[in-house]
């Protein structure tokens, strides 16, 4: 039996940009992506701490070292610049394997930089 389990989480980053007229996705600084073991085009869930919105989209790489976290397309309506979000990815795995899996958790500073 396969179950969904937390794979990675970038906890409490700020939205730095929202681009409504763009093909949908979330742009993330590659430093944050790599630290959280998230790859380009991976499906993620975005949870907005400020307003409770939740959405799913896919990741594209932003500018390295910029701290960028930008919601694109329709997702841009779900957050404002400065909102704090949690970015979550999940993985499917066998039940027994999942019992021992340790997710990657990243806690950036208030400027979306790694500590």
Please check whether residue 106 is in contact with residue 88, taking contact to mean a CB–CB distance below 8 angstroms.
Answer: no
Q: Active site includes 58?
A: yes
- The span from the CA of 108 to the CA of 115, in Å, is 6
Which one is catalytic: 8, 25, 66, 68?
25
- The span from the CA of 44 to the CA of 28, in Å, is 11
Q: How far is CA 35 from the centre of its chain?
A: 12
Q: Active site includes 89?
A: no
Query: What are the backbone dihedrals phi and psi of residue 54, each rounded to the nearest 5 degrees, phi first?
Result: -130, 140
Which residues have a catalytic role annotated?
Answer: 25, 58
């Amino acid at each position: 039996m396969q179950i969904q389990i937390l794979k990675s989480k970038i906890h409490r980053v700020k939205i730095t940009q929202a681009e409504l007229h763009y093909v949908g996705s979330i742009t993330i600084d590659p430093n944050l992506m790599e630290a959280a073991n998230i790859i380009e085009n991976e499906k993620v869930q975005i949870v907005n701490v400020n307003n409770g919105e939740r959405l799913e989209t896919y990741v594209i790489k932003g500018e390295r070292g910029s701290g960028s976290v930008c919601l694109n397309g329709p997702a841009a309506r779900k957050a404002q610049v400065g909102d704090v979000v949690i970015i979550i990815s999940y993985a499917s795995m066998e039940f027994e394997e999942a019992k021992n899996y340790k997710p990657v958790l990243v806690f950036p500073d208030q400027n979306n930089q790694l500590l």
